[in-house]
């Protein structure tokens, strides 16, 4: 087990949050249960931090993250294109491994800079596909009750950026059902998705799209642009001039979570005043946990 103290901004791709955390990284289930015995309340679960907004907390917050090199990064082939995958695997890493074994389905999601566990927790999606469409089974651990947690496809519970995973459940692994492909073709699709994102996504430290789309035909970016949000800023954070549903950390230096929240609230208010629509943030806020 690895335990360290750091600041929130080191755990967030947006470099946000000046508060201090105690980061627990268990290498296996035994270590995870030791952590739960050591602390008084369930720690906040984080993954790669690609849609996480840290906090400016004055007291040290316990945080749990599955390390990349652990038993939680397993890849086990159960059938021709059915795999048990550890939650610590990155989506891109998983897509490449599966493509090399002649199995496809993750290429549309390969550009999402997060882990499998994080993608499952929010039902990540891109290019008209959501991770939930591939999931047959999930196994996790209930941190509050300190006991196993399981989910099977027939239980349902998925929605747009919503999953059946409760807040205090740490996903350990999932069984994905994919389909046979030619390795070269799938690899080309993965590369094309990475290139597309490189061309379309604004440069600089970010946490990805800020708001959910109200509907497929009414994207948040268009509403935000119509409301004049491009270029708005608070502290270290600014709405991109390239994409109105995207906030960047100007200069990449650590910034206050409060400044980020003020900017997000300003964007929401402008859209509400201009169109009457309420936008809902896609991000996970540490101080809302």
* Mode of pairing for the β-strands spanning 52-53 and 284-285: parallel
What angle is formed at CA 105 by the lines to CA 185 and CA 84, rounded to 5 degrees?
120
Q: Please say whether the beta carbons of 158 and 92 come within 8 A.
A: no
Q: 134: which residues sit within 8 A by CB, 6+ positions away?
A: 105, 106, 176, 177, 178
Based on the residue annotation, tell me whether 209 is a catalytic residue of this protein: yes
- What residues form DSSP beta bridges with 79? 82
3-class DSSP state of 230: coil
Residue 248: how many other CB atoms lie within 10 Å: 22
Based on the residue annotation, tell me whether 13 is a catalytic residue of this protein: no
Exposure string of 251-266, with b = 16+ CB inside 10 Å and e = fewer, is: eeebbbbbbbbebbeb
- Distance (Å, whole) CA 163 – CA 121: 6
Q: 274: which residues sit within 8 A by CB, 6+ positions away?
A: 223, 226, 227, 228
For 218, which DSSP code?
Answer: B
Catalytic member of 130, 177, 186, 282: 282
Catalytic member of 50, 209, 236, 240: 209
Exposure string of 140-152, with b = 16+ CB inside 10 Å and e = fewer, is: bbebeeeeebebe
Based on the residue annotation, tell me whether 69 is a catalytic residue of this protein: no
Catalytic member of 161, 197, 212, 222: 161
**Residues labelled catalytic:** 161, 209, 282
């Amino acid at each position: 087990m690895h335990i360290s103290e750091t600041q929130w901004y080191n755990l967030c791709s947006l470099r946000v949050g000046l508060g201090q955390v105690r980061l627990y990284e268990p290498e296996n289930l035994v270590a995870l249960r030791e952590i739960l015995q050591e602390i008084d309340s369930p720690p906040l679960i984080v993954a790669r931090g690609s849609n996480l907004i840290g906090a400016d907390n004055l007291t040290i917050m316990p945080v749990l993250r599955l390390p990349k090199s652990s038993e939680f990064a397993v890849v086990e082939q159960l059938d021709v294109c059915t795999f048990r995958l550890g939650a610590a695997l990155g989506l891109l890493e998983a897509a490449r491994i599966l493509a090399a074994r002649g199995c496809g389905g993750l290429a549309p999601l390969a550009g999402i800079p997060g882990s499998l566990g994080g993608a499952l927790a929010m039902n990540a999606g891109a290019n008209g596909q959501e991770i939930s469409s591939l999931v047959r089974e999930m196994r996790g651990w209930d941190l509050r009750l300190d006991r196993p947690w399981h989910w099977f496809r027939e239980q349902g519970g998925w929605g747009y950026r919503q999953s059946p995973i409760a807040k205090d459940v740490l996903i350990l692994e999932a069984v994905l059902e994919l389909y046979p492909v030619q390795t070269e073709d799938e690899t080309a699709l993965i590369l094309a998705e990475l290139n597309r994102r490189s061309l379309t996504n604004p440069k600089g430290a970010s946490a990805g799209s800020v708001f959910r789309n109200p509907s497929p035909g009414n994207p948040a970016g268009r509403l935000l642009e119509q409301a004049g949000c491009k270029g708005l800023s608070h502290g270290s954070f600014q709405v991109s001039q390239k994409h109105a549903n995207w906030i960047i950390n100007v200069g990449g230096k650590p910034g206050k979570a409060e400044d980020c929240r003020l900017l997000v609230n300003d964007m929401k208010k402008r859209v509400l005043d201009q169109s009457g629509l309420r936008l809902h943030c896609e991000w996970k806020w540490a101080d809302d946990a």
